[in-house]
């Protein structure tokens, strides 16, 4: 199995995690599709982070210590940024739609 696809999948899912809440900002819907997009966004973030964990485990299994040492700091920082931004965007979506639905 080619584990390099995990990095690409992680990137794509991370972008999806950020794009879906932004789509919610631009659309006002009386239906609850924004909830579905927020759940998918948080799920994409979780799967993206899981892909990075699996890839790091793969590097440990093949004992590629130099690759692991070279990338671990960047992966930790980028993972934290992905998580914080995804949660922030989804909380903002919740606040926006809570105010719109209340009116």
- The predicted pLDDT at position 26 comes to 81
Rounded mean pLDDT, 18-44: 88
Task: Read off the pLDDT band of 30 (50, 70, 90).
Answer: low
pLDDT (tens digit, 9 = 90+) per residue, 34-85? 999 999 999 999 999 999 999 999 999 999 999 999 999 999 999 999 999 9
CB atoms within 10 A of CB 6: 19
Q: Which residues of 33-65 are buried (b: 16+ CB within 10 A; e: fewer)?
A: ebeebbeebbebbeebbebbeebbebbeeeeee
Long-range CB contacts for residues 23-26, cutoff 8 Å, separation at least 24: 24/93, 24/96, 24/97, 25/92, 25/93, 25/96
- Confidence (pTM): 0.90
pLDDT surpassing 70 at residue 102: no
Rounded mean pLDDT, 3-7: 92
Q: Yes or no: say if 11 and 78 are a contact pair by the CB < 8 Å rule.
A: no
CA distance 3 to 24: 33
């Amino acid at each position: 199995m080619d584990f390099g696809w995990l990095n690409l999948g992680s990137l794509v899912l991370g972008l999806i995690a950020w794009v879906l809440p932004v789509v919610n900002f631009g659309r006002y819907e009386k239906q609850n599709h924004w909830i579905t997009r927020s759940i998918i966004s948080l799920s994409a973030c979780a799967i993206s982070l899981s892909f990075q964990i699996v890839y790091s485990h793969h590097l440990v299994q093949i004992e590629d210590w130099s690759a692991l040492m070279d990338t671990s700091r960047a992966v930790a920082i980028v993972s934290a940024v992905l998580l914080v931004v995804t949660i922030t965007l989804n909380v903002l979506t919740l606040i926006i739609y809570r105010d719109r639905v209340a009116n």
